[in-house]
């Protein structure tokens, strides 16, 4: 073995049709099937299985026992060629599962870059995950879910099929999300409710006080004004003091919803319980 050859444990089983960059590391008892492509700098830990068609970018880390690129858990799947595409610099902790797409859902499950998937997370068929997201332990996406950049889905939370999770959204632990989770907001509970703006997360990401203030006022129209959603959206659009790209994105997100958006507020007792934690 040359210095440039992949560093592969002797107990690993790698199909000759798999394509691994020269410096890829593969741990003990890992299985890599045909039609798998793994980019430079990636480390695949022990007891992982990666099935194709799957394309994996650079500098990813699969800690151990991850099951990547398996067939979709969908009764309509009939063995058609579909794929899983993974970007760069993602971390997949123990027992993470990622399924390929289905023909009916576009044929591709797509994972962006710089994401953290903690232990036992599951991403189902035809999901699209953006960049810089965090999935807590055992967080689960049903099929066809879209998760946008910088979203956080906390431990043991589930997102229903065909839902969207907006940019910079925060889903609290043990939540059940059955409608689109609004960007910039804290969505918590079973069934999930809105607990206001994800202020701490937004401050950490460097958003200005002026931008935060505009988003807070926009959410007052949606959650406090007692207007229905259509009227609240019109009020936001007509209030020129709220004009900024982030509020425009919020309005577009709501208008583009197919399942409806999460706009239920918690009871006062629930608010007090969260505040006490």
Give 215's DSSP letter: H
Provide, for the chain, the percentages of residues in helix, strand and coil under a 3-state DSSP scheme, each rounded to the nearest 5. 20, 25, 50
Catalytic pick from 74, 88, 126, 180? 126
* 15 is a catalytic site residue: no
Give 175's DSSP letter: -
Q: At what angle do helices 245-255 and 229-238 cross, to 10 degrees?
A: 160
Torsion of CA 180, 182, 183, 184, to 10 degrees: -150
Q: Which residues contact 109 (CB under 8 A, 6 or more apart)?
A: 82, 83, 84, 85, 98, 99, 100, 101, 123, 124, 125, 126, 127, 128
Catalytic pick from 52, 143, 172, 201? 143
Cα–Cα nearest to 176, from 199, 151, 146, 153: 153
* 143 is a catalytic site residue: yes
CA 181 to mean position of chain CA atoms: 12
Q: Is 245 exposed, middle or buried (0-12, 13-18, 19+ CB in 10 A)?
A: exposed
* 125 is a catalytic site residue: yes
Catalytic pick from 51, 65, 110, 125? 125
Active-site annotation, residues = 125-126, 143
């Amino acid at each position: 073995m040359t210095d440039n050859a992949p560093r592969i444990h002797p107990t690993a089983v790698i199909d000759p049709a798999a394509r691994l960059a020269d410096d890829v590391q593969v741990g003990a008892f890992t299985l890599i099937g045909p039609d798998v492509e793994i980019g430079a700098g990636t480390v695949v830990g022990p007891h992982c299985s990666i099935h194709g068609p799957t394309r994996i970018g650079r500098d990813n880390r699969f800690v151990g026992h991850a099951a990547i690129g398996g067939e979709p858990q969908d009764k309509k799947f009939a063995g058609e060629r579909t794929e899983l595409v993974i970007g760069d610099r993602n971390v997949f902790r123990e027992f993470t599962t990622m399924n390929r797409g289905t023909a009916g859902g576009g044929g591709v499950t797509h994972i962006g870059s710089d994401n953290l998937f903690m232990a036992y997370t599951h991403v189902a068929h035809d999901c699209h995950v953006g960049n810089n997201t965090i999935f807590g332990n055992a967080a689960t996406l049903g099929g066809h879910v879209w998760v946008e950049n910088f979203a956080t889905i906390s431990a043991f939370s589930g997102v229903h099929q065909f839902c969207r999770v907006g940019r910079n959204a925060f889903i609290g632990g043990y939540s059940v999300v059955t409608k689109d989770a609004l960007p910039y907001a804290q969505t918590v509970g079973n069934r999930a409710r809105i607990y206001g703006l994800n202020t701490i997360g937004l401050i950490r990401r460097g958003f200005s006080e002026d931008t935060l203030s505009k988003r807070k006022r926009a959410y007052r129209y949606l959650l406090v004004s007692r207007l229905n959603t259509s009227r609240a959206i019109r009020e936001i659009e007509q209030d020129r003091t709220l004009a900024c790209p982030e509020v425009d994105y919020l309005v577009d997100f709501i208008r583009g919803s197919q399942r409806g958006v999460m706009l239920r507020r918690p009871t006062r007792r629930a608010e007090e319980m969260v505040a006490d934690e």
